[in-house]
Amino acid sequence: MKTVNQNIQIDGIDKKILRALMTDARTPILEIARQVGISGAAIHQRLRKLEKSKLISGSKFIINPKVLGYTTMAFIGVFLDKAVSNPEAVKQLQKIPEVLECHFTTGNWSIFIKILCKDNEHLMHVLNRDIQSITGVSRTETFISLDQQIDRQIKI
């Protein structure tokens, strides 16, 4: 068994289960059980243990945003006038549906966000109307993603 941290230990069977579900979260438990060589009930028990330890935080369907017309991905460094503006700025950013991620960072920006828009015009509208109008935001710096080359999770 290998220790991930002080709270959980995962073994080779756990890793096989996790790899199968990370490849396709809809893989039937009985199919995984056959591949691993243990019962479906044992798979369920191990999954409950991994969920309880918070190693697994859920499963989800991934929507292809391009099919819905969202083709412009951008990363925006947000400069705040004061550090005390952070919590309120984040509350306001949460109200903007195009904001997918929000990170407190070191370096030049107070906050770094990832947004998804239909096109550059939509991006400009979200920047001008929504983001730059937030109290405490002094300015922004925008980087448009031309194409995502890597999309993966941590290796198990």
Residue 99 is part of a domain; what is its CATH number?
3.30.70.920
What is the pTM (predicted TM-score) of this model?
A: 0.84
> Cα 90–119–111 angle (5° rounding)?
20
Q: What is the pLDDT of residues 16-57, one digit of tens each?
A: 999 999 999 999 999 999 999 999 999 999 999 999 999 998
- Whether residue 59 lies inside any domain: the answer is no
- Whether residue 57 lies inside any domain: the answer is no
Phi, psi of 138 (to 5 degrees): -90, -35
* Whether pLDDT at 3 is above 50: no
- What residue numbers bound the domain in which 16 lies? 2-52
- Whether residue 155 lies inside any domain: the answer is no
* Whether pLDDT at 92 is above 80: yes
Amino acid 5: pLDDT:
55
Identify the band that residue 144 occupies on the pLDDT scale cut at 50, 70 and 90: very high
